[in-house]
């Protein structure tokens, strides 16, 4: 990412900023339904896709170490095909010459189709995040 760790971390820590990038593509809208960014706090997001479907995901923030690490659960609600899988997202931010080396590990999905879907989703989200950070530089 072309921004220092504190700016990248802020993109995860602020509900308004999250709506600008934490979605798999620009044509999917994200609405923050709940956002309590603290260890033990929870979040809930609604993703609206162009076909009119809505996917709800929520979880709990387990670890927040500003500005280097965030760990949270990720649970998709029914009727989505991946509903009920309680996975975990580990975000690591390390300073680099270019700004920040950002690593996201989404674990415990337990299904190849879920792994692929979330890998593609995170790639799209990180492209949006990088673009937003560059716009604000």
Using alpha carbons, select from 128, 135, 87 the residue that is nearest to residue 110: 87
Three-state secondary structure readout of 88-120:
EEEEEEEEECCEEEEEEEEECCCCHHHHHHHHH
Instruction: Give the domain ranges of the chain.
Output: 5-135
CATH topology of domain 5-135: Alpha-D-Glucose-1,6-Bisphosphate; Chain A, domain 4 (3.30.530)
- Residue-level length of the chain: 137
> Model confidence over 63-84: pLDDT tens digits?
999 999 999 999 999 999 999 8
pTM: 0.94
Tens-digit pLDDT profile for residues 75-108? 999 999 999 899 999 999 999 998 999 999 999 9
Query: From the CB of residue 129, how many other CB atoms can be counted at a distance below 10 Å?
Result: 22
């Amino acid at each position: 990412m072309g921004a220092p760790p504190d700016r990248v971390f802020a993109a995860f820590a602020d509900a308004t900023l999250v709506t600008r990038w934490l979605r798999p593509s620009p044509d999917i809208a994200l609405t923050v339904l709940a956002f309590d960014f603290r260890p033990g706090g929870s979040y809930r997001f609604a993703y609206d896709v162009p076909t009119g479907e809505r996917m709800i995901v929520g979880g709990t923030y387990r670890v927040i170490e500003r500005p280097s690490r965030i760990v949270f659960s990720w649970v998709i609600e029914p009727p989505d095909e991946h509903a009920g899988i309680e996975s975990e997202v580990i975000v690591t931010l390390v300073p680099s010459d270019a700004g920040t080396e950002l690593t996201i590990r989404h674990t415990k999905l337990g299904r190849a189709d879920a792994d692929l879907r979330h890998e593609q989703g995170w790639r799209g989200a990180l492209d949006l995040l990088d673009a937003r950070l560059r716009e604000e530089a």
